[in-house]
Structure 1
Amino acid sequence: MLSFTTVAVLVLGCFAVLVNCAPRLKPKSSNAVCHVEEQLLRQMRHKVHALSKDAEKHDEDTETRLVGKDLFRGLEESGSCYVLKEVIDFYLGTVLKSDKLHAKYSHLKEVKEFLTILMKRHMSACDTEDKTKANKNIEQLKQKVDKLGEASKAKVVGELFILLQEIGSRCSTPGRKPGH
């Protein structure tokens, strides 16, 4: 039988080893849960495409691109998903709130609900270590939207399909095959 002192020394020794190793143990990156299943995106692709095509008819500014290479300039892969999450959040909170917009475009309500669920369930943990660069890119997008004024609504809705494609290419994981 071990004495109390021996057990205490063993416990403290184990504790010392754990404390010593703890700084080297890195927690899983928050981006590990920031992936969208490709199948989820596929389910809405047709409706988002139809909605975007409808809005493109009302978009008179063919020069400006909101969701393009400038949005991701200078970012690592994980930063791209963070930017897309923030763009969706911005769109939902500002541009897509308009009741007039919902009356003008069929499918917008359903697409907006899809984006809300996508944000809450699948992209809420998206983060990046370089928020300065990512937030600068997001701020530039917001400035473009402000500059476009009322025309920004057609531009945003018209680019929802591009946004969905970017989420698919930058944030999605293909469905897992059985046995892998």
Structure 2
Amino acid sequence: MMYSLQGLAVLALSYFAIMANCAPRLKSKRSNMVCRVEEQLLRYMRHKFHALSDEAQKIDTDTDTRLIGRDLFQGLRGQGKCYVLKEVIDFYLGNVLAPEELHTKYSHLKEIKEFLALLIKRHMSDCNTEDRTQANHNINLLKQKLNQLSEKGVAKVIGELFMLLQEIGKHCSAPPTNEPGH
């Protein structure tokens, strides 16, 4: 797809405007909340996650396997679920989504990877659980499913990124704060 220079400039300026708008929200909330993500922050990226997932779902023909689902949270409560999500994101970023050539295949992937990296670094870094044994067991099951998918695993992971964002909102989100600038 060819873009005009003016169109690319508008796209770049829009991206920087969104990121500048998100920057204050990416500050850690450790003073009053541990392991919480503001719902508003997730809403900023919702459309891009959805568009990227739609792209990958066209390639992903395995409709039976779910990586992000009930099995991932089995036997966990409270922050344990958020801890698992943080660990899954970290695994995805370091292993599955790491190859640079994926950026040319999937639009918005680079931006979403940057967003997820900031999310776990600034909002989810304190996520922990008392039941690490169960959490790690669930994460290992996800990794086993992913290994069974082999080459199709990347499309499955990218296709489920929107579900991942929804689960973060469900298990790790905090209502918007009433701080100035929010």
**TM-score normalised to structure 1 length:** 0.80
| 3-state SS of paired residue (1:99) | coil
Tell me how far apart the structure 2 counterparts of residues 70 and 131 of structure 1 sit (CA, whole Å): 15
Compute the displacement of 1:177 (Å). Answer: 4.9
Pick which of 34-43 and 97-106 moved more. Answer: 97-106
Compute the displacement of 1:114 (Å). Answer: 0.3
| Match in the other structure for 2:121 | 120
User: 1:1-180, aligned counterparts within 5 Å?
Assistant: 32-177=33-178
Tell me how far apart the structure 2 counterparts of residues 55 and 87 of structure 1 sit (CA, whole Å): 18
Tell me how far apart the structure 1 counterparts of residues 99 and 56 of structure 2 sit (CA, whole Å): 14
| 3-state SS of paired residue (1:76) | coil
| 3-state SS of paired residue (2:97) | helix
Compute the displacement of 1:33 (Å). Answer: 1.2
Compute the displacement of 1:77 (Å). Answer: 1.3
Tell me how far apart the structure 1 counterparts of residues 129 and 100 of structure 2 sit (CA, whole Å): 33
Tell me how far apart the structure 2 counterparts of residues 163 and 59 of structure 1 sit (CA, whole Å): 16
Report the structure, 1 or 2, having the larger helix content.
1
Which structure's CA Rg is the greater one?
1
* Deviation readout 1:51-99 (Å, 9 max, x if unpaired): 0001000001110000000000010111000000000000000010112
Tell me how far apart the structure 2 counterparts of residues 102 and 151 of structure 1 sit (CA, whole Å): 17
Taking every aligned residue pair, what percent have the same amino acid on both sides? 66
Tell me how far apart the structure 2 counterparts of residues 177 and 41 of structure 1 sit (CA, whole Å): 17
Compute the displacement of 1:102 (Å). Answer: 1.2
Tell me how far apart the structure 2 counterparts of residues 127 and 79 of structure 1 sit (CA, whole Å): 6
Paired residue type of 1:83: V
- Cα root mean square deviation, aligned: 1.6
Compute the displacement of 1:176 (Å). Answer: 3.1
* Deviation readout 1:16-45 (Å, 9 max, x if unpaired): xxxxxxxxxxxxxxx941000001100000
Compute the displacement of 1:101 (Å). Answer: 1.4
* Deviation readout 1:112-146 (Å, 9 max, x if unpaired): 00000001000011000000000000000011111
Q: In the comparison of the two structures, how many residue pairs are matched?
A: 149
* Deviation readout 1:144-164 (Å, 9 max, x if unpaired): 111111100000000000000
| Structure 2 stretches lacking a partner, 5+ long | 1-31
| Structure 1 stretches lacking a partner, 5+ long | 1-30
| Match in the other structure for 2:22 | none
